[in-house]
Amino acid sequence: MSDVKSAKVRLYVEHPLGQGQTIPLDRDQAHYLFGVMRLSVGDHVLVFNGRDGEWLVQVSDTGKRGGALDCVAQTKPLQLPPDLWLLFAPIKKARTDFIVEKAAEMGAARICPVQSEFTNSERIRRDRLQAHAVEAAEQCGGTYVPDVAELERLDRVLATWPVDRQIMFCDEALVGAGEVLSVGGDKWAILIGPEGGFSDAERARLAAMPNAHAVSLGPRILRADTAAVAAMTLWQSALGDWT
């Protein structure tokens, strides 16, 4: 489809997508498409909503406070990631943003900030982190946007942990990750600790869980943001949709 090549912008929308659908634009979207990207009536855009795949749309109305796009044809079906959650302790703002962006790019189905005993950051802005997940999906060609959960205490998360979901618990005190990769199951989570590591009590609680598997990411202690990327790479290459 030649019109796909002419579409230089990819945009996430909330509106349903389908043949004959017209997508109304809000003020921010209109400013980006018409004020920043200088698109006009007749130009093409790629859009997705996390439910209906990716669609080629055509600009049918422009304005400073709004506009409209008309669906032309579906270009990709919805591509769901593996059922993988990423749990991580928030760190400095820019590095937390990095973790969320990379998790969305690398195929996390859900992103869960958790507050452990040594977590330095006690608050997050979920709406801002969700926006980073959307931007990552726009840029990497994904058709799915992972949900970013509200910050929750780790002990409370583990207290209600589903028995059918395995946890790949990244512990810098261990060496070798091979043992976790032989464990079966379709539902997984990766747990990354804070800059100060996990407490003894948290390690003991995880060790007592039959579906938690402590692993190392190698002989070096990694920063939390690096560890998140390394752990997802390891899991995806062995058990995810990279195989």
pLDDT at 238: 86
CB of 176 closer than 8 Å to CB of 113: no
Q: How far out from the chain centre does Cα 93 lie?
A: 16
What does the alpha-carbon distance between residue 3 and residue 76 come to, in Å, rounded to a whole number? Answer: 14
- Angle value at C-alpha 236, between 100 and 106, nearest 5 degrees: 30
Residue 2: per-residue pLDDT:
57
Q: For residue 137, give the DSSP letter.
A: H
pLDDT computed for residue 177 by the predictor: 54
User: CATH 2.40.240.20 occupies which residues in the chain?
Assistant: 2-76
pLDDT digits (tens), the chain, 243 positions:
557 777 889 999 999 999 999 999 999 999 999 999 999 999 999 999 999 999 999 999 998 889 999 999 999 999 999 999 999 999 988 999 999 999 999 999 999 999 999 887 778 999 999 999 999 999 999 999 999 999 999 999 999 999 999 999 988 766 555 556 677 789 999 999 888 888 999 999 999 999 999 888 887 888 999 999 999 999 998 889 987
**In this structure, are residues 192 and 206 in contact, taking their beta carbons and an 8 Å threshold?**
no
Per CATH, the architecture of 84-238 is what? 3-Layer(aba) Sandwich (3.40)
Domain 2-76: CATH superfamily, name plus number: Hypothetical PUA domain-like; domain 1 (2.40.240.20)
Give the relative orientation of helices 126-140 and 93-105 as an angle to the nearest 10 degrees. Answer: 40
Task: Outline which parts of the chain fall under CATH 3.40.1280.10.
Answer: 84-238
- The pTM assigned to this predicted structure is 0.91
Q: What angle do CA 186, 235, 144 make, to 5 degrees?
A: 70
Q: How many CA atoms lie within 13 A of 31 on its CB side?
A: 4
CA distances from 173 to 79, 191, 199, 212 (A): 36, 14, 12, 16
